[in-house]
Amino acid sequence: MNKVGLISYWLICLYVISQLALMNEWLIFVDLLSLTTVLAPTIAAWFIRNNSSVSDRVTLCVKVCWLSGGFMFVYGLISLLSNFHNDAIAMAAGLSVALIPIIYAMMISLLLAPFTFHSCHSVTGKQVD
């Protein structure tokens, strides 16, 4: 894998994420419960397989990241719908909070994508840098 390309990819991704966060108030993207429930299982997934390659571990982390993000989204949606009292503004705010774990999963996947795709090419037998 080309290190210059990887560093430039991460810098571009961080630039895009920071620009998205700065378009509105950055506090709307912060939810510590969602961040903890997405990030903690993702980090823990790294240590599940000690004898696996780095790309296999990253692939597992991305999968766990999406599972935990999806789980928290469903939890937030159920919580929102169980407390719904015909208030459209409150429902829109609750739905935006329920979507935050999906945003965290997307950000983590975006940053780990080069390692995930590297793993896919090495399994299929294609030429890998």
pLDDT at 126: 54
pLDDT of residue 129: 46
Question: Residue 108: which of 52, 3, 51, 37 has the closest Cα?
Answer: 37
Q: What's the pTM value of the predicted model, to 2 decimals?
A: 0.78
pLDDT of residue 1: 63
Contact 100, 34 (CB under 8 A): yes
pLDDT at 64: 95
Q: Are 40 and 105 in contact (CB under 8 A)?
A: no
Task: Return the domain boundaries, the chain.
Answer: 3-124
CB 104 within 8 A of CB 43: no
Ranges of the chain whose pLDDT falls below 50: 121, 123-124, 128-129
State how far the Cα of 119 lies from the Cα of 90, in Å rounded to an integer.
Answer: 43
Per-residue pLDDT tens over the stretch 18-50: 887 777 677 777 889 999 999 999 999 999 888
Residues in contact with 69: Cβ distance below 8 Å, sequence separation at least 6, in sequence order: 38, 101, 102, 104, 105
